[in-house]
Amino acid sequence: GESVGLHLPTLSVQEGDNSIINCAYSNSASDYFIWYKQESGKGPQFIIDIRSNMDKRQGQRVTVLLNKTVKHLSLQIAATQPGDSAVYFCAEPNNNQFYFGTGTSLTVIP
């Protein structure tokens, strides 16, 4: 079946530093990925998506990089703020559902 996974379950960064959250996937035919942010007690919130015909996509303070050769994508958060503390999931839609990684918990240290 499909699978996406994350490299690190937890990540701590100093406020103002950049954060990098990684995700690997198994299906080389995967053509679309989404990053979600889930704050404590809330549902996942859409952050940014990327199609497989792109290597990079930028949003506000966030950048997603896609390396199809090694089936890896990453979410980069610039100038990390306390409000960025949350669990981050990569997700891939396929076969009537979204497959989610296990999530990386980001803690921002003031």
Residues near other proteins (CB under 8 A)? 32, 34, 36, 41-46, 49, 89, 91, 93, 96-103
CB of residue 35 to other proteins, shortest distance in Å: 11
CB of residue 99 to other proteins, shortest distance in Å: 8
Dist. CA 42–CA 6, nearest whole Å: 20
Closer CB to other proteins, residue 46 or residue 67?
A: 46
Question: Looking at this protein, which amino acid is placed at residue 86?
Answer: A
Contacts of 32 (CB under 8 A, 6+ apart): 49, 50, 51, 52, 92, 93
